[in-house]
Amino acid sequence: MFMEQPEKTPKVSVCVITYNHEKYIRQCLQSIVDQKTDFDFEVIVGDDCSTDGTRGIVQEFAEKYPEVVKPIFHDTNIGGTKNIVFVHEQAIGEYIAHMDGDDFMLPGKLMIQAEELDKNPDCAICVHAMKHFDQQSQHYRKLRPKRIPRKSDITFLLMNLPFFSHSSKMYRAECRNGLDVVADEILDCYFHVHHSLRGKILYLNDLLGVYRLNAGGSSVKENSNSIYKIPAPRLLEWLIDAVEYAGRSEIDADLINRSKAKCYFDSSYSHLMAKDFKTFQLLINKSYETARLHNIQLLFKHLSGVPSALFFLVRLRAGLRERIWK
C-alpha cells in the first residue's frame, strides 16, 4: 500500500472509494483526470479488494497518469468505512474531495469548489447539486428544486440528514482531525457531522456531478433511492448514531432530540409508503415521544390507528406532486 510522495504538493486530493465498480470506474476516473484547474491535484483510489475487473482499470489509469493517480489495493476486503477513513488519511492536499466509484464529475467541479472554499474561510465543507442518473432506466431523473441555503451549519444538517450527495463534497483537510469512528460500518452522515462541527457548509446550486442510482456496489445507496422502498433497519440506526455523535459535542440537547425525532419520522414515512403499517406505527410513536416537530408529524400520530386511510391520503398527495413535476 506504499505510495510515493509527489514532487509538488497538490492543492486538492480526490479520494475515490470503489468496490466492484467495473462498469463505472473508468468514467469516474476519466471525469476526474479531465478536470481543468490552475493547481495540482492528486487522485487516490482505494479499491476494497474488488472481485471484478475494477482493479485492472484502476491500474491502467495509474500507469497512464502516474503523477496524478495513486492506487491503493487492499489485500482483503476491509469494508466501506475503513476504506474511506484509510484513503482520506493518505490525502496531502489542502482540500479533500470525496468520490464514490460509480459516480462521476462534470467539467469545472474541482476548480469551482476550490475557489469557493478559498473565498469562504468560514466554511469547512463545500457541496453542490447533482444530476441523478437511473442505471436501470438509463435516463436522468427530473428533480424537484430544494430549498437549501447557500450557507448552513450543523443545525440545518442535523435536521436535514442528508441533504447532499457524498460525491459532491469537498472539505478542508484539517477537518479530519479528531474523528472517532466507533463502529465497523457507519453512514456517510457520520463524516458530514464531524466535518460540519468545524465550520459552515457552503452549498452551490451548480450541477457539477452525476449521482448514479441503482448501480450496485452500495446497499445503502440502493436502499435510499425511493421513498417506496422499506429502508434497512440499520440505515436508521446509522442516522441516529450520527446524531448522537454530534451530541457528544456542545450541541444543544433539544436540537439532538428534534433531529432524532426527524430521523424516526422520515423512516416512518418510508414504511407507511411501503405499506409496512406495523413498523410505521412503532416509528411514528417513537418520533412523537422523542420530540414535537410539525403539524404533519401530529397528523400522522393522530391517524396512526388507521394507517391504510393515511396511506391513501399521502399517496394521493404524492401522486399529484409527481404529475406536476413530470
pLDDT of the residue at 38 = 96
pLDDT of the residue at 225 = 32
Residue 214 DSSP label: S
Residue span of the structural domain in which 47 resides: 12-217
Q: What is the CATH number of the domain that holds 188?
A: 3.90.550.10
Residue type, 174: E
Task: List the grid coordinates of 111.
Answer: 476548480
pLDDT of the residue at 141 = 79
pLDDT of the residue at 181 = 81
Residue 260 lies in a domain: yes
pLDDT tens digits for 125-170? 999 999 998 888 788 876 766 789 999 999 999 999 989 999 999 9
Q: How far apart are CA 17 and CA 72, in angstroms?
A: 10
**Are 110 and 178 members of one domain?**
yes
Q: Name the residue with cell 457524498.
A: 166
**Are 47 and 122 members of one domain?**
yes
Q: Is 10 helix (H, G, I), strand (E, B) or coil?
A: coil
Residue 318 lies in a domain: yes
**Are 40 and 132 members of one domain?**
yes
pLDDT of the residue at 202 = 98
Element holding 262 (H helix, E strand): helix 253-273
Residue 228 lies in a domain: no
- Listed residue (210, 212, 214) closest to 226, CA to CA: 214
Rounded (10°) angle between helices 233-247 and 253-273: 170
Q: How far is CA 247 from CA 62, 88, 193, 240, 283, in A?
A: 41, 24, 10, 10, 21
Q: Distance between alpha carbon 108 and the CA centroid of its chain, in Å?
A: 20
**Are 248 and 161 members of one domain?**
no
**Are 20 and 134 members of one domain?**
yes
- Is residue 71 within 8 Å of 209, Cβ to Cβ? no
Q: How far apart are CA 46 and CA 66, in angstroms?
A: 15
pLDDT of the residue at 147 = 87
Give the number of C-alpha atoms closer than 13 A to the C-alpha of residue 74, restricted to the C-beta side: 22
Phi/psi of residue 216, each to 5°? 85, 170
Residue 1 lies in a domain: no
Residue 2 lies in a domain: no
Residue type, 148: I
**Are 254 and 150 members of one domain?**
no
Q: Is 171 helix (H, G, I), strand (E, B) or coil?
A: strand
Residue 273 lies in a domain: yes
Task: List the grid coordinates of 186.
Answer: 457507519
Residue type, 269: Y
Q: How many domains does the chain have?
A: 2
pLDDT of the residue at 219 = 33
Residue 35 lies in a domain: yes
Q: How far apart are CA 23 and CA 82, in angstroms?
A: 23
Mean pLDDT by 10 residues, the chain (326 residues): 63 97 97 98 97 97 97 95 95 98 97 98 97 85 80 96 94 93 82 96 96 64 37 82 92 96 95 93 97 96 95 79 49
Strand partners, 95: 12, 172
Residue 5 lies in a domain: no
Phi/psi of residue 36, each to 5°? -95, 120
pLDDT of the residue at 220 = 38
- Listed residue (298, 303, 178, 299) closest to 249, CA to CA: 178
Pairing outcome for strands 123-134 and 104-105: unpaired
Element holding 26 (H helix, E strand): helix 25-33
**Are 16 and 150 members of one domain?**
yes
**Are 204 and 261 members of one domain?**
no
